[in-house]
Amino acid sequence: MGPLRAAALVTLVRGGGRLRYRHPRAGLHIPVRRCSAPPAPAIAAKEPFAVELKAGQKYGWCACGHSRRQPFCDGAHKKAAPGISPLRFVAEEDKMVWLCGCKQTRTPPYCDGTHKTEAVQGARLPPKP
């Protein structure tokens, strides 16, 4: 049986506010998970972090905002924001840079001044552990 024929045998039904697949002959019911948008990053700070990068060094910039080692990743995204991964990069030269703390930058991992917007400045920061 080809994929089109198999697909025709399974129908999508709505019951009790949930979606399920139902096979018309077997009565098989398979729950369906709805896709949702990935979680939005938390604003870790309302200003950038000054960091001295070393040439050739690998870095993992926290993109979720939940790391306790800001601006770098400590793996907190695995539980707090599973849809967000750190941005990994290698410094090309020894250099002082400003890494984004609000996680809203359009030039990650570097600050682009987005933290100055009213939306970021008016946001509540997550509680410190």
- pLDDT at position 128 is 72
pLDDT at 6: 42
Domain ranges of the chain: 1-35, 49-121
- Residue 62: closest CA among 71, 51, 52: 71
Please give the pLDDT value at position 24. 57
Q: What is the pLDDT of residue 11?
A: 43
pLDDT at 111: 98
* d(C-alpha 60, C-alpha 75), whole Å: 10
pLDDT score at 27:
56
CA distance 38 to 2: 34
* pTM across the whole model: 0.70
Q: Which residues in the chain show pLDDT less than 70?
A: 1-38, 129
> Which of 87, 119, 89, 86 shows the shortest CA–CA distance to 102?
119
CB atoms within 10 A of CB 46: 14
pLDDT at residue 126, rounded to an integer: 79
